[in-house]
Amino acid sequence: MKKNSSFIKIYGKHPVLAALANTKRTHKELFTTKNTYLELKEAIDKSGIKVNMKSPHEMDSLAQDSVHQNIILHTSSIMHRDMTFLNPCFKKERSLIIALDQVTDPQNVGAIIRSALAFNVDAILLPEHTAPDETPSLIKASSGAIEKLPIVKITNLVNTIQLLQKNNYWVIGLDSNTNHLMTQSTFGKKTLLILGSEGKGLRRLTKEHCDDIVKLPMAENSVESLNVSNAAAIVMYEIFKSSSIA
Instruction: List the domain boundaries for the chain.
Output: 7-77, 80-245
User: Quick one: pLDDT band at residue 197, thresholds 50, 70, 90?
Assistant: confident
What per-residue confidence (pLDDT) applies to 221?
A: 63
Considering the domain 80-245, what is its CATH architecture? Answer: 3-Layer(aba) Sandwich (3.40)
Give Cβ neighbours of residue 220 (< 8 Å, ≥ 6 apart): none
pTM (two decimals)? 0.89
What per-residue confidence (pLDDT) applies to 80?
A: 87
Instruction: Determine the Cα angle at 118 with ends 117 and 124, to 5°.
Output: 30
What per-residue confidence (pLDDT) applies to 9?
A: 94
Domain 7-77 class, CATH top level = alpha beta
| Residue 187 vs residue 228, higher pLDDT | 228
What per-residue confidence (pLDDT) applies to 222?
A: 67
- Ranking 8-22, 31-45, 198-212 by mean pLDDT, the lowest is 198-212
What per-residue confidence (pLDDT) applies to 64?
A: 85
| Residue 154 vs residue 85, higher pLDDT | 154
Summary mean pLDDT of the chain: 90
From the number of C-beta atoms within 10 Å of its C-beta (0-12, 13-18, 19+), residue 188 rates as middle
What per-residue confidence (pLDDT) applies to 211?
A: 94
What per-residue confidence (pLDDT) applies to 130?
A: 87
pLDDT-above-90 percentage for the chain = 71
What per-residue confidence (pLDDT) applies to 244?
A: 62
What per-residue confidence (pLDDT) applies to 145?
A: 95
pLDDT-above-70 percentage for the chain = 95
What per-residue confidence (pLDDT) applies to 177?
A: 80
For residue range 109-156, what is the model confidence (pLDDT) as tens digits?
Answer: 999 999 999 999 999 999 998 898 999 999 999 999 999 999 999 999
What per-residue confidence (pLDDT) applies to 75?
A: 95
What per-residue confidence (pLDDT) applies to 3?
A: 44
User: Quick one: pLDDT band at residue 1, thresholds 50, 70, 90?
Assistant: very low
What per-residue confidence (pLDDT) applies to 66?
A: 85
